[in-house]
């Protein structure tokens, strides 16, 4: 349990260091895991305060951390696949919707109702480019995700070559974005 607690503390401190380096020039920091003096991360991020930080994972700790940050990236998988991913499973869109509501409600309590909170989901249909089903099924799935509170959807193109990846993404865009 100590290793897990140390990992959580290291991750949380890493986020604090990143945010500091993105917002303060020069940046100085003295912590348990990191020390920085006179650091300048230039050029700075285009977005004031740095890019949004989306926290991945389905555990209660990940959801709590997501609520404290700008977003959550859940992995929608069956309990069987979750065991190999080392994260609790989220098997249905209804279950995902309940977890999204939980994270958004916690984020509103922590950061205020107007604070940004993005949800980017990774579902089994992320591989649609490689294993296409019907266009209607995919669009229906995307509609269900949107109704559940998902803002963006991960598309997983083939990675065997740059040309194949680009061609697959173009085909996906032509099929789903240009209609």
How confident is the model over 32-91, as pLDDT tens digits? 999 999 999 889 899 888 898 999 999 998 999 999 999 999 999 877 778 887 888 898
Would you call 15 exposed, middle or buried from its count of C-beta atoms within 10 A (0-12, 13-18, 19+)?
middle
| Rounded-to-5 percentages of helix, strand, coil across the chain | 50, 15, 35
**Dist CA 119 CA 66 (whole Å):** 9
Q: What predicted TM-score, i.e. pTM, was given to this entire model?
A: 0.82
Cis peptide before 26 (omega within 30 of 0): yes
What mean pLDDT is reported for the chain?
A: 88
pLDDT band at 127; cut points 50, 70, 90 = low
Q: For the segment 81-97, what is each residue's pLDDT rounded down to a tens digit?
A: 788 878 888 989 999 99
Predicted pLDDT at 130? 60
pLDDT level of residue 131 (50, 70, 90 thresholds): low
| Helices vs. strands in the chain: H and E counts, helices first | 6, 6
Mean pLDDT score, 112-131: 81
DSSP output for 68-131: HSSEEE-B---HHHHHHHTS----SHHHHHHHHHHHHHHHHHHH-TTS--EEEEB-GGGGTTTS
Between CA 57 and CA 21 the distance in angstroms is 25
62 or 126, which is more confident = 62
């Amino acid at each position: 349990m100590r290793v897990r607690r140390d990992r959580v503390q290291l991750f949380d401190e890493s986020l604090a260091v990143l945010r500091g380096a993105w917002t303060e020039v020069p940046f100085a920091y003295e912590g348990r895991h990191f020390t920085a003096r006179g650091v300048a991360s230039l050029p700075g991020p285009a977005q004031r305060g740095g890019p949004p930080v989306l926290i991945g994972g389905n555990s209660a700790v990940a959801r709590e951390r997501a609520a404290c940050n700008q977003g959550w990236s859940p992995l929608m998988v069956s309990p069987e696949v979750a065991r190999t991913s080392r994260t609790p499973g989220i098997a249905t869109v209804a279950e995902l919707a309940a977890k999204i509501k939980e994270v958004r409600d916690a984020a509103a309590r922590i950061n205020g109702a107007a604070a940004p909170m993005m949800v980017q989901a990774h579902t089994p249909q992320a591989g649609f480019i490689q294993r296409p089903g019907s266009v209607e099924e995919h669009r229906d799935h995307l509609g269900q995700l949107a109704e559940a509170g998902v803002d963006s959807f991960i598309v997983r193109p083939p990675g065997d070559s740059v040309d194949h990846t680009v061609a697959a993404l173009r085909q996906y865009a032509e099929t789903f974005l240009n209609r």
